Amino acid sequence: MSWQKKILRVNLTEGTCTPEPLNMEWAADYLGQRGLGTKYLVEEVDPKVDPVSPDNKLIFATGPLTGTAASTGARYSVVTKGALTGAIACSNSGGYFGAELKFAGWDMIIFEGKAPKPVYLYINDDQAELIPADEIWGKSVWETDKILHDRHQDPQLKISAIGRSGEEGVMYACIVNDLHRAAGRSGVGTVMGSKNLKAVAVRGTIGVSVKDPQRFMQTVTEKKKILAGNPVTGQGLPTYGTQVLMNVINEVGALPTRNSSAVQFDGASKISGEAMHEPRASDGKTNLVTNQACFGCTIACGRISRIDKEHYTVKNRPEYWGASGGLEYENAWSLGADCGVDDLDALTFANYICNEQGFDPITFGATLAAAMELYEKGVITDADTGGVKLNFGSAEALTTMAEQVGKNEGFGKILGLGSKRLCEKYGHPELSMSVKGQEFPAYDPRGIQGMGLTYATSNRGACHLRSYTVASEILGIPEKTDPLVTGGKAGLVKAFQDATAAVDSSGLCLFTTFAWTLEDFYPQIDAACEGEWTLERLAQTGERIWNLERQFNLAAGFTAQDDTLPKRMLTEPATSGPAKGKVNGLDQMLPEYYELRGWSKEGVPTSDTLQNLGLS
């Protein structure tokens, strides 16, 4: 119940699709989605594997609450060894695709091997087949979506696809579903492309049932009320989306600006959630058209935007005149503040291109920011860029480079490497703002100390979604801590990491945790799923997942040396705002964190820890 108890194994080399029962013992220990997908990967893939070789596997995993009436039951995760990082990768996406996969009767799809020629997977309830992708290979995500809808003559078909970036080996290609929802980070789309797998198209009419329907409906109704009544999930997110944060984070001096050379951006208000609501001087219309929910979501943080038809990016290009997925906070930061650009429509356009061609806007923006710094230092020259002036603040540089990465041409080929490889190539590895090869997102660890430990210890490389201590340090959720001190942050990060791992395995969206705690999750899981789900069991499941991911990374060759931050965060003090004069105090937090985790000084889980978690 709630699990469909069935997975689809697709051997791309052989061209076979085989149903298999879900391993229910593992489901009892790892719940679903992130946890269960990781368990399968760890059991089936050598951690030392080359991420883009046929021996890596790619797992699409739903959670037990995906496709139920629980608010935000939209989510699925893509689990693999990341192309960008070489670490465990798990990228989570909303939209409608995940629920549709569940309605078709599947908990998970495991892709293995590599197709001799490009293919896509078509699923219609229990029927699954691989179909030649000749017509869509080389096409964008948006073209692919249209062609497959037309070919199968089914408007209800839900499609998840890679664009050209995934085909051409851009290191941070993502997998985009429903046109603008993405499993965005760590290069999961690069792995998909390396397997010659273009898309997954699903239609599901079987539905999902739960263990105790009456109790489940009663519980989810109660929990939906909590979301509606909470100021963040009931008002802030629906009105401004995650962009509610732009002005807030700028004010606290934690908005990484111009490749983190500053922590405040003078153009922040121009690219904020508030600005998306303001009529443009040019055409009197607002950038924001409406908000949109993912499947089952009663928060509805998604942004649907429209660019002024006269804006230089879309003038005479009617294909970009319609409404489409608009700016989330992380993207507005990476394409905006981090590159010093304050032209809202230009950022929106760059974001469209990321969705259309399927590459991660966080890594792209952060990589361009590093390239801009190298350009201003004279290390990268006009000869490298084909004459494009890569100055901070140039909207033209941003949108030109977004299109070049999308087509994998010109300097876009170099930008497609990601910041770590790019900065190494030009002899300045210290200018890549990344951890374990992945660029960090929109919170400067000098202004929000806990985020330093978050980035340093995140299992998938720098990431805000592994322990969002911003909630506590800035927003006071569940309680306020001082963003400028390191004391207590080790415990905070561990608690957030474990809880997040559990939430990411349920099928629900992490954004509910602005209003909910695990106390609100376990009754919904317990009413839906077999077995008895208590708070303790759920919390322990999260901790088990964290340690399992850690073990995969250790076996892949990562060590405590990799639990660190770019030098800039540790040695160059913030130049303005409340954090002025501060660096990140990682060395004060990391040893305590290892201890709390039950890991050795070398960051390795002790045998006691593993035993307690049932991992030995």
Q: Which does 68 bind (CB under 5 to 8 A by kind): another protein, ligand SF4, none?
A: another protein
Is 449 among the residues that bind another protein (CB under 8 A)? no
How far apart (Å, rounded) are the C-alpha atoms in residues 259 and 332? 14
Q: What does 156 bind: ligand SF4, another protein, none (CB cut-off 5 to 8 Å by kind)?
A: another protein
CB of 225 or CB of 425, closer to ligand SF4:
225
Cβ proximity to another protein, 13 vs 209, nearer residue: 209
Tokens of 401: 């480079």
Q: Give the interface size with another protein as a residue count (CB under 8 A).
A: 36
**Cβ nearer to another protein, comparing 217 with 510:** 217
**Residue 59, token pair as written in the block:** 């797992």
Is 103 one of the binding residues for another protein (CB under 8 A)?
A: yes
The Cα–Cα gap between 478 and 137 comes to 47
Residue 69 in contact with another protein, rule: CB under 8 A: yes
Closest CA to 431 of 257, 259, 265: 259
As measured in angstroms, the least distance from the Cβ of 565 to another protein is 38
Taking CB under 8 A as the binding criterion, the range among 66-74, 164-172, 256-264, 275-283 that sits at the site for another protein is: 66-74
Least Cβ distance, residue 230 to ligand SF4 (angstroms): 12
We find the least distance from the C-beta atom of residue 293 to another protein, in angstroms, to be: 4
The reply to whether 507 sits near another protein by the rule CB under 8 A is no
Question: Is the preceding omega at residue 445 within 30 degrees of 0, hence cis?
Answer: no
Buried b (16+ CB within 10 A) or exposed e, 133-145: bebbbebbbbbbb
Instruction: Determine if 292 is a binding residue for another protein (CB under 8 A).
Output: yes
Find out whether 155 and 178 touch, Cβ atoms under 8 Å.
no
509 binds, among ligand SF4, another protein, none (CB under 5 to 8 A by kind): ligand SF4
Distance CA 497, CA 459 (A): 10
Q: Which residues contact 165 (CB under 8 A, 6 or more apart)?
A: 172, 173, 174, 189, 190, 193, 357, 358, 359, 405, 406, 408, 416
- Minimum CB separation of residue 205 from another protein in Å reads 4
CA dihedral in degrees (35, 38, 40, 42; nearest 10)? -140
Write each residue from 236 to 265 as x if it is in contact with another protein (CB under 8 A), else as -, in one continuous string: --x---------------------------
Asked if 300 is part of the footprint of another protein (rule: CB under 8 A), the reply reads yes
Question: What residues make contact with ligand SF4 under the rule CB under 6 A?
Answer: 72, 74, 94, 293-294, 297, 299-302, 509, 511
Q: Angle at CA 334, nearest 5°, toward 332 and 337? A: 75
Bridge partner list, 129: 122
Q: What are phi and psi of 120, to 5 degrees?
A: -130, 160
How far are the Cα atoms of 223, 409, 507, 524, 529 from residue 69, in angstroms, in the given order? 11, 45, 11, 10, 14
Question: Between residues 83 and 293, which has the closer beta carbon with respect to another protein?
Answer: 293
Strand blocks (E) in 26-174: 58-62, 76-81, 88-93, 108-112, 119-124, 127-132, 158-161
98 touching another protein, by CB under 8 A:
no
Stretch that binds another protein, among 209-217, 482-490, 555-563, 572-580 (CB under 8 A): 209-217
Are residues 534 and 526 in contact, defined by beta-carbon separation less than 8 angstroms?
yes
Task: Measure the CA–CA gap between 52 and 260, rounded to whole angstroms.
Answer: 31
Select the binding partner of residue 606 from ligand SF4, another protein, none (C-beta < 5 to 8 A, by kind).
Answer: none
Give the shortest CB-294-to-ligand SF4 separation in angstroms.
Answer: 3
Out of another protein, ligand SF4, none, what residue 94 binds, judged by CB under 5 to 8 A for its kind, is: ligand SF4
Q: Which residues, at least 6 apart from 229, have a Cβ–Cβ distance to it below 8 Å?
A: 515
| Residue 295 in the binding site for another protein (CB under 8 A) | yes
CB of 297 to ligand SF4, least distance (A): 3
466 contacts 542 by C-beta, under 8 angstroms: no
Q: Closest CB to another protein among 148 and 297?
A: 297
591 binds, among another protein, ligand SF4, none (CB under 5 to 8 A by kind): none
Q: Of 400, 453, 261, whose CA–CA distance to 338 is shortest? A: 261
Choosing among ligand SF4, another protein, none, which partner's interface includes residue 289 (Cβ < 5 to 8 Å by kind)? another protein
For residue 456, what are its two tokens? 């340093």
Which of ligand SF4, another protein, none does residue 136 bind (CB under 5 to 8 Å by kind)?
A: none
Q: Binding of another protein at residue 391 (CB under 8 A)?
A: no
Site for another protein, rule CB under 8 A: 67-69, 71, 96, 103, 156, 179, 204-210, 213, 217, 224, 228, 238, 289-298, 300, 304, 306, 322-324
